């Protein structure tokens, strides 16, 4: 077994072999999830707490289902509502939760690096469910699994990631993962939504979508994060759709068998044309949701194995302060 991590905080610390191991295990859970009897017991007896400091329906549901299918006791905490408003700091919240002896902590936070900070203060396994504009590792892993199943491989592919790269943690995790697995990554979007210095990461940057989509195997659309914008990144939604929205005409520049992906939730008519999203021959958007549950089961399973191994070895996992 090569997956040796204590936490899943991002794709950046993972070795390619670790990524492959998560995906291989996730394949098994895909099969399980398609059975009528969907239960396994990898997390039996363990407590999983989902701590979301930022609104999420889909990711939280996916993690909850993944935990329940593996037999964990799952608790959801919506953190915007509770302690934040009472002025409690992130670390105090972490210490409070830690005292409840959770085994798996799934955290989403609006600030980059917040999940890393929290992971330093608790002695259980921490999964990053999205921190600010930094990383969203399980999303990149489920995207990778979707691509691998659709294309039969996860290397030497040309992948275009399109749209609001600047505000997207999904884009960052995907750029890192696809790079580690030796694919060509193209970023497509207006310069105002492109992070500075991103070309130094070994990607190609395109401002023209038709050029960017030329002969790619995978088209990955990003949600236009309207709620995160200070205002003034693009002139209007309709101009954005005209230049950067995925429609049949632009998709025709990609390979004939190119697949279309979207992390959801979609803004139909802003970044993607509804008919393409619904085209079962091209769109794998529903499959991404399915892979999401399987990948999260695999990630939590592997982290729980490492947690148990460390506990048996008598080590205190995590650094307590």
Partner 1 sequence: MRTDVFTNAQIIDPEAGNVSLGALAIRDGVIVGHGADLSPPEGANIIDCGGKFLAPGLIDIGVKVCEPGERHKESYRSAGLAAAAGGVTTMVTRPDTTPVIDTPETLEFAARRAAEAAPVRVLPMAALTKGQEGREMTEIGFLLDAGAVAFTDCDHVTTNTKVLSRALSYARSLGALVILHPQEPGLSQGAAATSGKFASLRGLPAVSPMAERMGLDRDIALIEMTGAAVHFDQITTARALPALERAKANGLNVTAGTSIHHLTLNELDVADYRTFYKLKPPLRAEDDRQATVDALRRGVIDIISSMHTPQDEESKRLPFEEAASGAVALQTLLPAALRLYHSGDLTLPQLFAALALNPARRLGLPQGRLAAGAPADLIVFDANAPFVLDRFTLLSKSKNTPFDGARMQGKLAATYVGGRCVHGGLGA
What tokens does 225 get? 């994060």
**Cβ 273 vs Cβ 245: under 8 Å:** yes
Interface region with partner 1, contact rule CB under 8 A, candidates 31-39, 105-113, 208-216, 267-275:
105-113
Q: Which of 113, 191, 235, 274 binds partner 1 (CB under 8 A)?
A: 113
Interface region with partner 1, contact rule CB under 8 A, candidates 16-24, 178-186, 190-198, 266-274:
190-198
Q: Which of 98, 112, 214, 306 binds partner 1 (CB under 8 A)?
A: 112
Report how far residue 133's alpha carbon sits from residue 74's, in angstroms, rounded to the nearest whole number: 27
Report how far residue 65's alpha carbon sits from residue 29's, in angstroms, rounded to the nearest whole number: 12
- Under the binding rule (CB under 8 A), the answer on residue 86 touching partner 1 is no
Question: Residue 208 gets which letter from DSSP?
Answer: S
- Under the binding rule (CB under 8 A), the answer on residue 201 touching partner 1 is yes
- Under the binding rule (CB under 8 A), the answer on residue 247 touching partner 1 is no
| Shorter beta-carbon distance to partner 1: residue 40 or 205 | 205
Report how far residue 40's alpha carbon sits from residue 72's, in angstroms, rounded to the nearest whole number: 10
CB 113, min distance to partner 1, A = 3
CB 193, min distance to partner 1, A = 12
Q: Which of 169, 223, 262, 296 binds partner 1 (CB under 8 A)?
A: 169
CB 196, min distance to partner 1, A = 4
CB 83, min distance to partner 1, A = 14
Q: Which of 31, 81, 87, 197 binds partner 1 (CB under 8 A)?
A: 197
What tokens does 219 get? 């088209």
Interface region with partner 1, contact rule CB under 8 A, candidates 36-44, 107-115, 142-150, 290-298:
107-115
Q: Which of 109, 148, 180, 223 binds partner 1 (CB under 8 A)?
A: 109
- Under the binding rule (CB under 8 A), the answer on residue 180 touching partner 1 is no
Q: Which of 67, 137, 190, 195 binds partner 1 (CB under 8 A)?
A: 195
Q: Which long-range contacts (CB under 8 A, 24 or more apart) does 105-112 make?
A: 105/48, 105/49, 105/51, 106/48, 106/49, 106/50, 106/51, 106/63, 107/51, 107/52, 107/53, 107/131, 108/51, 108/52, 108/53, 108/54, 108/56, 108/59, 108/60, 109/53, 109/54, 110/53, 110/54, 112/169
Question: Residue 321 gets which letter from DSSP?
Answer: -
| Shorter beta-carbon distance to partner 1: residue 111 or 243 | 111
- Under the binding rule (CB under 8 A), the answer on residue 200 touching partner 1 is yes
- Under the binding rule (CB under 8 A), the answer on residue 117 touching partner 1 is yes
Contacts of 30 (CB under 8 A, 6+ apart): 145, 290, 291, 294
Which of 150, 104, 144, 93 has the alpha carbon at shortest distance from 127?
A: 104
Q: Which of 61, 91, 150, 266 binds partner 1 (CB under 8 A)?
A: 91
CB 175, min distance to partner 1, A = 9
Report how far residue 127's alpha carbon sits from residue 74's, in angstroms, rounded to the nearest whole number: 14
Residue ranges in 119-148 that form contacts with partner 1 under rule CB under 8 A: 131-135
226-264 burial string, b = 16+ CB within 10 Å, else e? Answer: eeeeeeebbeeeeebbebbbbbeebbebbeeebbbbbbb
Report how far residue 131's alpha carbon sits from residue 34's, in angstroms, rounded to the nearest whole number: 31
- Under the binding rule (CB under 8 A), the answer on residue 232 touching partner 1 is no
Query: Interface with partner 1 by CB under 8 A: which residues?
Result: 12, 89-91, 109, 111-114, 116-117, 131-135, 169, 172, 195-198, 200-201
């Amino acid at each position: 077994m090569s997956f040796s991590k204590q936490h899943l905080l991002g794709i950046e610390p993972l070795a390619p072999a670790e990524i492959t191991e998560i995906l291989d295990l996730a394949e098994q859970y895909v099969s399980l999830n398609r059975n009528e009897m969907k239960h396994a017991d990898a997390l039996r007896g363990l407590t999983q707490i989902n701590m979301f400091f930022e609104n999420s329906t889909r990711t939280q549901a996916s993690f909850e289902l993944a935990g329940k299918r593996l037999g964990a006791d799952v608790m959801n905490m919506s953190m915007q509502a509770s302690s934040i408003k009472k002025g409690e700091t992130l670390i105090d919240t972490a210490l409070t939760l830690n005292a409840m002896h959770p085994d798996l902590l799934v955290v989403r936070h609006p600030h980059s690096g917040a999940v890393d900070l929290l992971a330093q203060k608790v002695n259980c396994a921490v999964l990053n469910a999205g921190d600010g504009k930094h990383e969203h590792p399980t999303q990149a892993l489920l995207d990778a699994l979707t691509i691998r199943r659709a294309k039969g491989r996860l290397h030497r592919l040309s992948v275009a990631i399109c749209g609001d790269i600047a505000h997207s943690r999904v884009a960052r995790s995907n750029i890192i993962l696809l790079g580690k697995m030796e694919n060509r990554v193209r970023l497509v979007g207006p310069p105002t939504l492109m992070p500075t210095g991103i070309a130094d990461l070994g990607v190609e940057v395109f401002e023209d979508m038709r050029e960017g989509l030329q002969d790619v195997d995978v088209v990955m659309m990003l949600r236009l994060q309207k709620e995160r914008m200070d205002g003034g990144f693009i002139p209007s939604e309709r101009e954005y759709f005209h230049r950067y929205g995925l429609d049949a005409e632009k998709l025709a520049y990609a390979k004939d068998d190119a697949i279309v992906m979207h992390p959801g939730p979609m803004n139909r008519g802003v970044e993607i044309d509804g008919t393409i999203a619904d085209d079962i021959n091209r769109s794998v958007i529903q499959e991404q949701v399915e892979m999401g549950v399987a990948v999260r089961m695999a990630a939590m399973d592997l982290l729980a194995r490492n947690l148990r191994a460390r506990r048996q070895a008598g080590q205190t996992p995590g650094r307590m302060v």
